[in-house]
Copies of this chain bind each other. A is one copy, B any other.
Amino acid sequence: MAGSTYGNIFRITTWGESHGKALGVVIDGCPAGLPLCEDDIQQYLDRRKPGQSSITTQRKEADEVEILSGVFEGRTTGTPISLMVRNTSQISKDYGNIATCYRPGHADYTFDAKYGFRDYRGGGRSSGRETIGRVAAGAIAAKILKHLGIEVFAYTRSIGPITIDDTQFDKDAVYSTPTAMPDKQANEKAMTYLQVARKDCDSVGGCMECVVTGIPAGIGDPVFEKLDANLAKAMMSIGAVKAVEIGDGTAVSSRKGSENNDSFRMENDRIIKTTNHAGGILGGISDGSNIIIRAYVKPTPSIFKTQQTVNQTGQEIDLQIKGRHDPIIVPRAAVVMECMTAITILDAMMANMSSRMDSLTTFYSPADTK
């Protein structure tokens, strides 16, 4: 099936493998007239780039983006924007038993089951590098949202047992700490925790959170295209995510209605909620409060400890993974979360423009009455 396209009106199609020639994305449906240059996109790619700290893979990739189409004289034209990043550090190596064995926690076995064989080099299409296209496209979505007064912001909430202290929230720390935690103390504890795990040839899981501010009420759809349903899909489509929460998430299941309902009140002539257990979405449609999403990420499946597995001929073997691997996925995945959220929100906002007759009649008022 054609499964590399996401979005309806603002629609992206990603392509590329970990050790192929290049990776990229085609963005179709981007409105015409947006000022856009490589640097707008590069900033986002740099946040997911490997080799930036001791807790990311030491693979060296510049991940430089090239705009191949859809921009003319510095502005988007409304036609497809093709973005490409060349792979430069595909170390020519003996893939050894990786080519034939099924790494636990990886997609090796399931790819073979589906397709009959696979590009085993660095995980092929199931590699984390697949997200390059998402981030490149999300940078554009985020730029458009900024024009509309909306900000999307993701960060690391927890690493292993260490969770940020919300009272110490420091937005800048997200960009200056290797863990992307908005809390410098938590960052330090997490770094220590990670060094120990790494020494143990092990890896660590974590949680990332995304906040959308400035979104108006009324975005989303009542049934299958609920805004939270699409956000859940977007999050769960990021490799290694195993759970998604909106607002208070799992916690609501042990609450009473009187505790969980958010009261409406007036503030400066606008309707607001006095609390935000709902995470900014009611009945699948934004309610004007901040949208809050959390995604829980499993520990990197590539660990250096010896593991039991089988190979494709059905022999049970002991596996020793080598190479360059992040001991934790979360810090680099936070920008992916931000980008997938931006694309989802923008797509819903574009869809929303035709939801009322008066919007159509305003937009298409007959020429003689304009």
Contact = CB atoms under 8 A, between A and B. Distances in A.
Contacts of A79: 4, 15, 17, 119, 124-125, 222
B124 A77 contact: yes
A70 B15 contact: yes
Interface string A221-257: 1111110111111111101001111111110111111
Residue of A66, A239, A258, A354 most packed against chain B (CB within 10 A): A354
B31 A80 contact: no
A41 to B, nearest CB: 15
Contacts of A223: 3-4, 14, 125, 130, 237
A114 to B, nearest CB: 4
Contact of A257 (B78, B203, B354): B203
A283 interface: yes
A106 B33 contact: no
Contacts of A3: 28-29, 221-226
A306 B270 CA distance: 22
A226 B232 CA distance: 12
A356 B76 CA distance: 9
B109 A263 contact: no
Nearest to A81: B15
A275 to B, nearest CB: 10
A218 B78 CA distance: 12
Interface stretch (A44-52, A165-173, A175-183, A284-292): A284-292
A287 to B, nearest CB: 5
A156 to B, nearest CB: 11
Interface in A181-236: 197, 200, 202-207, 214, 216-226, 228-236
A258 B360 CA distance: 39
A263 B353 contact: no
Contact of A82 (B24, B31, B270, B309): B24
Given A3-B223, A69-B15, A357-B33, A298 B205 contact: no
Nearest to A312: B271
B148 A366 contact: yes
Contact of A366 (B119, B144, B214, B260): B214
A150 to B, nearest CB: 8
Contacts of A4: 26, 28, 79-80, 223-224
A5 B23 CA distance: 19
A105 B247 CA distance: 12
A144 B111 CA distance: 21
Contact of A205 (B14, B15, B255): B255
Nearest to A21: B68
B252 A248 contact: no
A302 B283 CA distance: 13
A214 B364 CA distance: 11
4 closest Cβ pairs, A-B complex: A107-B283, A3-B221, A3-B225, A113-B218
21 contacts: A15-B69, A16-B80, A17-B70, A20-B68, A31-B355, A33-B117, A34-B357, A72-B119, A104-B261, A107-B285, A110-B218, A111-B283, A113-B216, A114-B217, A202-B257, A203-B257, A242-B246, A242-B248, A255-B298, A274-B308, A353-B354
Given A3-B226, A78-B355, A126-B283, 13 more contacts: A20-B68, A31-B355, A79-B124, A107-B283, A109-B217, A114-B217, A114-B218, A158-B254, A197-B256, A232-B233, A232-B235, A261-B301, A264-B310
